[in-house]
Every structure is written in structure tokens, then in C-alpha cells.
A and B are shown apart, each in its own frame.
Chain A
Amino acid sequence: MKASYHKIKNYINTPFGVIATVAAIVFGIELLIMQFLFVVLPVIQENIPTIAFNFIDAIILTVAVSPALYFLIFQRIRADAEKLQKITESAQDAIIVMDPRGRVTFWNRAAETIFGYTKNEAIGRELHKLIAPEKSLNAFNHNFKQFLETGSGPILESVREVIALRKNGDEFPAELSVSALPINGAWHAVGIVRDISARKKRENLLREREHELLEINTYLMNKEAKEQALLASLGEGMISTEIGGEIITMNRVAEEMLGWKEAEVLGKKLIDVIPALTEAGITIPPENRVCLNVTAGACVGPLTDDSTAFVKKNGESVPVAITTTPVIIGGKCSGAVIIFRDITNEKELEKTRRDLLSLASHQLRTPLSGTKWLIETLRRGVHGTLTEKQTEYLDQIYKINERMTNLVRDMLGVLRMEGDINPAIKEDVSLQTLFGVMIETLGNTAKSKEVDLQILKTDESTIHTDPLLLRNILECLISNAINYSNEKGTVIVETKKDNEDIVFSVKDSGIGIPADEQRQIFQRFYRATNAKTFDTKGTGLGLYIAATLAKKIEAKLTFESTKDVGTTFYLRIPVSK
């Protein structure tokens, strides 16, 4: 009974069924009108003219009216169908209908684009084999069975993300929504599929970016934490400033050293908050502050300075060694970092060392100078003429005393040099003046040995270096050249410019340095074997001092020597300022 009801219902749903149904309804209405006109009305009102309508007329009328009605209804249905087709064809999403056998019965243009199958290729094919990857077929079969029986299933009435398969074998992410459509007692399925691969790609990209950002953020946070920890644990004071000198950060050590809290000084100018003093305790004018070389646009550095004291919040001062470094970001100077440490102890130690050295040198030199002057007084004949033997003995004593004096001088020189923490100074040194002093100091020694000391003229007028250290080095080299030359030998001092360097050469025609001993010649207390026999007075400290001082003024001290021919020492000083 129920099956025949569905059959009739399905039949009525077809176009022919619609026409037949309409014709039957029209025919029925006509019959009713006719019954009213010819049977009921004459009974009520006898004077109404009778019009001859009969059953045949009704059939004729029906046949005439029905095609017109059919046409009208068909047109309407066709318009609706076209409209529906346009809608489905213009859709961006694939619209697919599947019959109860699992075969495609509808396939729109978007489905063609998304899956790569034309409508003709798709219609009639098993949908899932067409568009679902193999791995999801089992799940489909299970769900499809349930769907056929009940019109329901886990994927119905919801939108879910699935992996779909294109004709070319590519799998892609898709959004799928499925509705159940009962037709003629069987469940059809309408699926709407949206290709979300582009969106997924964007989402993945976004996720990757997000992940990267998270990583960067984590990295930066770690870095910042490390830097904070580093700054906090740094044993030295640290202040960083903007390019204008405004304080950005001040670490804990700086706070403790200066008595300021970071919060109190942030944004204020370093030179205003922390005045600086010279070693003599004189306030350094703001325009002369070292940090300005970095912050006031010059952007030079790192600059070091250990002759300054910072004034603390409470007005006391603390001697500091400062390194000021520009912060360069993207090739532009954006600020400065000032690292400083308290050198009170070093300064005190340095003062103690200096005092000790000063006292030691004084105490050692005084008896030596007394002996020297007393002998010289006797030799001058102030207390009468000396006998030959007396003169000979006094000369011996004098030589011993001189040897001791030189040893004391050299040893004190080494102590002074090795303990000296002060950097070499740099200033323009007049070569004429320098060589004048050399002649004055060593001219007599050369003359007494009849050594011809020649200081050749040079085109260079000045050199930018430490005057005292340069003088000490040259004095050592020239005095060695004279000492180790034979009588009537020649010592030539020459100054030449070589590329970016100024090279002093001191050439003698002396005893030379044996080849196998040349490697040790700059060692402390080392004396070449031939030097020991040639001049017994040497201390073995001269070249050691010269080499150490050369290093201090960033110069190179080298030599070439042939035994019994002579030696040339070269002092190469870079001229860059």
C-alpha cells in the first residue's frame, strides 16, 4: 500500500504527471460548473436561458485549455531549472549529487575545475573512487551503508575538513558539507566541496610565521634575559647612552660605584650627572670629555682612558679606567657604551711602586755619585797633583763605580718599565731636537773612542710618538753601536720614510752578533759571547729595554748583523696618528 502511494507520488512529480494532474483537475472543475448550470440552477431559477453544455463540451474544452496550461507550467519549470543551473554553475564550490548507488548524478562547473573531471567524465561514475583518496574508502563504505539506510551519518549536517583527490592524483584539503536528499524513497546525497588548499597554504604560512615570530620572540627574550644577567653580573660599571649622551641604562656595579640609581639618571646627560676630574683633581670641562668623541657625532672608538676620576653622587671621586665604544647600527652611530672600573687600588699600588722605585734609585745612586764626584775631584787636582800610580788606581775605582752606576740605572729602568701601567703618550717630536740631544749625550762617548758618529740629514721633521721612550730606545741603540765598535769605527744613524712607517737605522762597523746567538739578543741579561770579552761592563739589559719600549710605542725593532763586520738595528714606527 505504502509502495503504491510512493509510486503515484513519484509519477505526479514528473512533467507528464503534472500535466495529467492539471488536466484532471480542470476536467473535474468543468464538470462541477456544468452540473451547477444545468442541474442545480434551473431548479432554483427557471427563467435563466439554458445554454447547451454537455459532457462532450467539457472534454473539448479541457483538451483546448490543457496544452496552454501545460505550456505555461513547462515554461515556468524550465525558467526555474535554468535559474537553478545558473546558480550552481556560478558557484565557486563544487556541487555534486550522488545517487543511492553512490554514483554521480550532478557535477557543476566548479567541480570540473576543482577535481579536473569534466561533467561527462564524472556523471555515472562512483563518486568516492573518483574524488576520495584510497585511504579514506573504508570509512566511506561504512558511512555510506548507514546513510543509505537512515539518511544520516557522521558527516551530515556539518562542515568538515577532508582530504580530496584530483584527477591528476594530487591530494588537497577541502571543506565538505553533505545534505541528505530523499528522492523516490531513496537517499541521495548533495555534497558541497570547497577547495581550501590556497587558504590552508596561507594558514600554514601564517602558522609558520607565527612560529618563527614565537621563536624570535623567545630568542630575544632569552637574549635580553642573558644580557640583563650579564650586565648585572658584570664586574665593571656600564652606562649606555643615546647619541646625544642621554643615559639609557646603568648596571648594578655602576650604581654601586657612583651612588646613583638607574631610575634617577635615565634620560639625563652623562656629562651632567657624572662630572669627571683629571688626575690632578681638576674638573674636566664638558667639551673635553672623552665620551663626547663618541656621542657628539664623531663616532670614534673604542677610546680608553685611565687618567680620569668620576665624581660620585655624594661628591667623592673614584679613579676609573674607562672604555668608551660607539654603538653603530646600520652604519650609523646611535649611541655609546661606557665601561669603567674602579682603579683606586691600582693607582695606590702604582704610587707605592713609584715611591719605592724613586727611593731605591735615590738610595742606590747617592753613594755611587759621591764616589764618582770625589774621584773626579781628586783627578782634577783640586787637592794636589796625583802620582801616576794613584791616578791609575783611581781610574780603576772610577771604572768600577761607573759599571755599578750603569747597572743600577739599567736595573731601575727595567723595574720602572715592567711596572709601568701607563700607556705611551703621543706627541709631535722634533727630529732635529731629538738628534741634538743624542749628540749632546753620546757625542763625548763617541769622541773618547774616536768613533765617527754620523747622524744623516732627513726630510722628515717630526714624528708622532712618545718622545721619552723614543729617545731611550735610540740612546740605547746608538750607545751600543759606539760601545761595540772598534776604535776609529763609524756609526751611522739614518731616518727614512717607508710607506706608512718611519724607520730609524743605526749602523755600526763593530764586532757583530754571532749568527747562532742572534735569536737571544733581546732577552733580559743576555750578552753575546764576543760582547762579553769585548766590553766587560755591559749589563745585558740595554736591548731588552729597547725592545720592550719599542713594543710600547707600537714600533718594531729588528736587526741584521754579521760577526766582525757590523750590525744595523732598525726601529720601524708607524706614523698613523
Chain B
Amino acid sequence: MNHVLIVEDEDFLVRALKDNLVSEGHSVAVAMDGEAAFEELRKQKPNLILLDLLLPKKNGFDVLKEIRQSPEWQLIPVVILSNLGEDSEIKRALELGANDYFVKSQHPIQEVIEKVREYLEGKGSTKVGL
């Protein structure tokens, strides 16, 4: 069973993501802020991280930066799910090592679930969904 970490502060989005991932047969951990993300990481190393950018305590950019600097977690695929859609933000996230970037309102959840499946099956390739 693959383990997916959702880092997202909006509970309705967490619920939608969690319901779909669980129905796909994955185990899911949820962190509602940036610091909680590392607590969850330490508890169980996930196969994939879905990361929001605007987060309490520690923003998603910093979380991503730390993950990519950590020898333990740096190879975990990170898919950004954010409603920040400015070019500069997307560019910054990709430069920091994000594997994918989805502007949530522009993409059906099904696309996200398929992307997760691709990564977990080792087929994921970096692409940006705007």
C-alpha cells in the first residue's frame, strides 16, 4: 500500500483528496500546516507528497525547500496543489524541486488522482498543469 502525505490547510479540500485517495487504496496522512508536515514525515516516510503553498506556520515553499535539502526525503515526489497561479510562483516551486504543479480550481480532482497514480507507479514525469 502506498502512503500519501497531504499537506493542506483547507479541510474541505483535504476531505475530497483523502476520500479519493483512500478509495484508490492508498493510505493517507494529513498535515494542516507546514510544521505538522515534518511531524508526519518523521512518523512515516510517504511515497508521495501533495503540497499546498499557502500554509500556516511554515509556507509550502519553505517546506519544499527543506524536503529537497533533506537526504532522507529529497527523492520523494512532491506535487504542488495550490490556487496560487502566477507564473513567478509556479517557476519558483519548480526551481525548488516540485515535480508537478496544479492550480486546483482549473483541474478536476480526477486529474490529480491520475497524476498520483502515475508517480506511484513510477511513470510520473514533470509536467505543469496550470
Contact = CB atoms under 8 A, between A and B. Distances in A.
A166 interface: no
Given A365-B103, A366-B10, A369-B83, A358 B89 contact: yes
Given A373-B13, A382-B19, A382-B23, A358 B84 contact: yes
A46 to B, nearest CB: 157
B88 A376 contact: no
A337 B2 CA distance: 64
Interface string B1-19: 0000000001011011101
A448 to B, nearest CB: 12
Interface in A335-355: 354
A373 B10 contact: no
B86 A374 contact: no
B84 A361 contact: yes
A409 interface: yes
A374 B105 contact: no
B16 A370 contact: yes
Contact of A361 (B15, B83, B88): B83
B36 to A, nearest CB: 19
Contacts of B85: 361, 365, 412
B54 interface: yes
A368 B88 CA distance: 22
A66 interface: no
Interface string A378-402: 0010110000000000000000000
Interface residues of B, number: 25
B110 interface: yes
B47 interface: no
B122 interface: no
Contact of B16 (A374, A408, A409): A374
A369 B129 CA distance: 14
B106 A409 contact: yes
B39 interface: no
Contacts of B16: 370, 373-374, 376-377
A383 B19 contact: yes
Nearest to B15: A374
A382 B110 CA distance: 12
B54 to A, nearest CB: 6
A354 B109 contact: no
Contacts of B45: none
Q: How large is the interface on A (under 10, 10 to 19, 20 to 34, 35 or more residues)?
A: 20 to 34
A370 B10 contact: yes
Contacts of B99: none
B5 to A, nearest CB: 18
A353 B60 CA distance: 21
A405 interface: yes
A442 interface: no
Interface string B80-112: 001111111100000000000001111011100
B105 A376 contact: no
A357 interface: yes
B88 to A, nearest CB: 7
A362 B10 CA distance: 12
B23 A365 contact: no
Contacts of B110: 376, 380
B108 to A, nearest CB: 6
Given A370-B10, A374-B12, A377-B19, A354 B88 contact: yes
Contacts of A377: 16, 19-20, 109
Contacts of A361: 83-86
Contacts of B82: 362
B86 A354 contact: yes
Nearest to B16: A373
Contacts of A358: 84, 86, 89
B2 to A, nearest CB: 18
A361 B103 CA distance: 11
A556 interface: no
A362 B108 contact: no
Given A369-B13, A374-B16, A376-B110, 10 more contacts: A365-B104, A368-B105, A369-B104, A370-B12, A377-B20, A382-B23, A383-B19, A408-B105, A409-B105, A409-B106
30 contacts: A354-B88, A357-B86, A361-B83, A361-B84, A361-B85, A361-B86, A362-B82, A362-B83, A365-B85, A365-B105, A366-B105, A368-B105, A369-B83, A370-B12, A370-B16, A372-B108, A372-B109, A373-B13, A373-B17, A374-B16, A376-B16, A376-B108, A376-B109, A377-B16, A377-B109, A380-B20, A382-B19, A409-B105, A412-B85, A468-B87
Q: Which 7 A-B pairs have the closest CB atoms?
A: A365-B83, A369-B104, A373-B16, A369-B105, A365-B105, A370-B12, A373-B109
Interface of B: 10, 12-13, 15-17, 19-20, 23, 54, 82-89, 103-106, 108-110
